[in-house]
Amino acid sequence: MTEIKGKIKSFIFNNESFGIAVFTLMDNDTRSIVIKGEITSMRLNVFYCLNGETVIDRKTNKTVFEVKSLKQIKITSKELVIKYLCSPLFPTVGKKLASNIYEHFGDDTFNKILSNPEEIKNVKDIKDSQVLIILETLKENFEENKVLEIFEEHNLKLEFYTRVEKFCKSKEEIKNTFENNFFEFAENNFLIPFKEVDRVALAFGLEENSSERISWWAKHLANELLMKTGNTYLELSIIKKELQKVFFNINYEIFDEKLIYAKKNKLLIFENKKVYTKESYNDEVVISKSLLEIENKIKITKKTNLEDYLKEVESFVETSLNIKNFKYNQEQKLALENFLNNNVSIVTGGPGTGKTTVIIGLVKLYELVYKKNDFAIVAPTGRAASRINEVSNYEATTIHRLLKYTGNNTFEYNDLNKLDRGMLIIDESSMIDNHLFASIFLGLENLNKIVLVGDIDQLPSVSYGNAFEDIIKSNCFSLTKLITNNRQIITGERNSIIDLANCIKNNNIELFDFDNTNNIDFIFENDANYALEKIKDTYLNNRPIDFEEEILNLQIVAPMYKNNLGIDRINNFIQSIVNVNKKNIYKRGEVEYKANDKIMYTENDSYLKVFNGDVGYIQEIILENKKFKIAKTYFNKELKELNSSQFGKVKLNYACSIHKTQGSEYDKVILVLDNTNQYSSFLINKKMIYTAITRAKKHLFIIGDKKLFINSCKKEMKERLTTLKDRIVQLID
C-alpha cells in the first residue's frame, strides 16, 4: 500500500459511490496524478492523505492511483498554513496577510480561529470582507468532521457517507442519521451490502448485542433463507439457530426477548407460530385481498352468450395464426365462457394445449363484448411476451416494462402512482414470485378482469412464494384445465415429447417406451467426456444455417453450473467449436467473449431496458489499447451498447439453466444431466425435468445417465411453505 498527500484540483467524474479526479501532490504542486475510487466525499483544494496503489485503468490503459482509504490532513505548520491561505480557497488573501494571520495565532491556526472567530478581526491589515471569506471557508472545510473521522478510522464504505450527506442539511443531522436507526435508513435507501451497513452501525455506537442489531440481523437472515428455500415464512427456531452463528456469545433462549424489537417495529411479522419478513407477509396480504376485491366487483358482463361472438373470434384467430377452418375445442371454449362469467379466471395447461391461442381469443372477446381496449397482456420474460406478439396484432410486454421498473425491486407504477387498466392477462404465471405478483396489483387500478395463464406442473418462481399454484389450490376462482394436445391433432402424428411430459406429470415414467420415439433422442451415457463429445456432435448436427435461428431455436439446458457437464464447462466447450473468431477477444475471469457469441443478460436494467433472462448476441467488442471499451450487442432485435459494468451482467448462453429457459420455447433442446456431480441426485426433480423437456417444440435430445434421469422424473419437488392459499380461503369464509 502506497501513501500520497495532496489535494483534488478537479473532478473528472463524480457520482454517489465512485469518482475520478486530478490530484495535485503536496510536495510538488506542479505535478498531478489521476486518482479513482470512493472519493466523492473529498472536497476541492483540501489536503488529504491517501492510501492505495497504482494500477493500469482498463478503459484508458493509463496509470491511475486507486484509493483504498483517505484522511484529511490537519494543517498546523507555518508553511502549510500560509500555503493554504494563499490557495484559491481564500480569494483576496495574499502571502503577506497569510503570514500576519499565522504570526497572530501561531501553531494550530485554523482550530484557534474556529474556536474564537472574533479574534481574527484583530489581525494586522485584515479587512471585514476577508474575515468573512476566511471564516466561511474554514467552517466549511476545516471544522472538525467527527463523522468522517469515524469513517476514516474504521475504513467504512464512504459511499454511505456520501448518500447520507445528500439527504441531510447539516453535520448534526448527518451524525444523527448514523447514530439513530441507520439500519432503517439503509434499507429505505437500498444501501448494500448488509454487513457493511452493520459495520457502520457498530462504529457509530450501536451496542453489539442490542435488540436493534439482533432484530435487523434476524430480518436479513430471514430474507436470505426465504430466497434460498422459496418459502414465505420460517419457524422461529430456524431464525434463532441462524442468529446463533452470528451472535455465538448469546444464549439461545435470550433471542426471544431480543426479537421483541423486530416484532414491535414490524421488521418481522409473527403470526400463528410462523415468522414472516414484512415484505413476504405484505405480499400475501396484497395478492389475496386484491384477487378477492376484483372477483367481488359487480360483474360488468351482461347476460352474454359466447356463441354470439364465437364465430367472429375464431375467424380472427384463424387469420392471426393462419390456420384454415380454425375452431376452438371444448376446453378452450370453456376458458372463454369462464372469462365472460368471472372477474378472476385461471387457465392452466401443458405445452401444445393452446394457451396462447386462448389468450388471443380472450382479448378479441373483450374487445367485442365490452367495446374497450384498456387491456394489458404481460409475461415475466421478453421471450414469452414475444410469442404472443409474433402470432397476433396485440402487443404483449414484460411485467417490468408495463410497470416501468426503476431498479432495486421498485417500479414507477406503484401504490402511490397507479396505471389504469380494465383487463389484465398474465402469461407464464407459474414463473412469477409473490413480490412481483403483489407489485402488479399495487401498480394497477380500475382492474375489473384478470386472467392467469400458465402450467401448474412447471417449476415455481426463483424467488419466494408459489402464487400461481396457491391461487389454483384455494379453489376459490374459476379454473379451466387445457388437456387436449393440439400439436398432435394438427400434425396427425404422435408427439413423443408430449407423451414423455405426460408420463412425468402423471407419475408413470416406467410406462414410457424409450425405444419407440419420433422426436426424442436418448443418449444415455455415464462417461462425462464421451457425453461431452455427444453434446458437440448433437449441437453441430442440428445447428441452423441462419445465425439468428441458432440464437433463438437451438438451446442446451442443464440443471447444474459446475463439474464435468455443468453449464460453465459446456459453454466454453461449445464456444471453442462454433465461434473461432480471434479478433477483439475480451477475457473476464476464465471466460472469453467475442463477436457472434450467444449471450444472456442476468439482471434487470431499467436504463438499458434489458431484463434478466433476455437472450441476444455480441455484434462487436471494441477494445482500446487491448482494454475493454464497449460491446455492441443485440437483445430483442434492438442494438444495446454495453459499458464495462453492464457487460459484467452478461453470460455466455450456448447452455443455460432450466430456470432461465422458463417462458421460452425452442425448436430443438439438448438436455444434459451430470451424474458426476454429487448434488444432482439431491437437487434435480420431477418439475425440473418436466420444465426442461417442455421447452422443446420439435425435437428433444437427452444426454446423460439413464438412472439419474428416471430417478429425477420420480422425485417430487420439496413443497414450499406458504400461506397465500389459506389467506384467500379465510377471506372467502
Point out the least confidently predicted range of 4-8, 76-80, 670-674: 76-80
Give the residue-averaged pLDDT of 175-183.
95
Site of grid cell 462417461: 527
Give the residue-averaged pLDDT of 381-395.
86
Which domains does the chain possess?
A: 2-72 (2.40.50.140), 77-203 (no CATH), 209-284 (1.10.10), 304-485 (3.40.50.300), 498-714 (3.40.50.300)
Neighbours of 79 (CB within 10 A): 9
Report the SS3 class of residue 366: helix
Neighbours of 527 (CB within 10 A): 13
Q: Which of 468, 453, 294 is nearest to 360 (CA)?
A: 453
Which pLDDT belongs to residue 303? 63
List alpha helices for 207-277, DSSP H. Answer: 211-229, 236-246, 254-258, 260-264
- Residue 490's pLDDT band, with cuts at 50, 70 and 90, is very low
Instruction: Using the predicted structure, report yes or no on whether residue 500 has a pLDDT greater than 70.
Output: yes
Q: Taking the CA atoms of 401, 404, 407 and 408 in sequence, report the sign of the dihedral they define.
A: negative
- What percentage of the chain carries pLDDT values higher than 70? 97
Q: Which of 349, 561, 587 is nearest to 453 (CA)?
A: 349
Q: Alpha carbon 172 to chain centroid distance?
A: 35
pLDDT digits over 183-225, tens only? 999 999 999 999 999 999 999 999 999 999 999 999 999 999 9
CA 452 – CA 472 distance, rounded (Å): 10
More confident residue, 626 or 474: 474
Question: If you average pLDDT over every residue of the chain, what do you get?
Answer: 91
Contacts of 197 (CB under 8 A, 6+ apart): 160, 182, 183, 186, 191
Neighbours of 312 (CB within 10 A): 12
Give the residue-averaged pLDDT of 93-112.
89
Which pLDDT belongs to residue 488? 52
Point out the least confidently predicted range of 157-171, 437-451, 574-588: 157-171
Distances (CA, A) of 209 to 255, 258, 449, 588: 10, 9, 51, 41
pLDDT digits over 244-300, tens only? 999 999 999 999 999 999 999 999 999 999 999 999 999 999 999 999 999 998 776
pLDDT digits over 346-383, tens only? 999 998 899 999 999 999 999 999 999 999 999 998 88
- CB hemisphere CA count around 696 (13 angstroms): 26
Query: Using an 8 Å Cβ cutoff, are 200 and 160 in contact?
Result: yes
Instruction: Using the predicted structure, report yes or no on whether residue 560 has a pLDDT greater than 70.
Output: yes
Distances (CA, A) of 409 to 204, 432, 606: 29, 14, 11
Q: What does the angle CA 555 – CA 558 – CA 559 come to, to the nearest 5 degrees?
A: 145
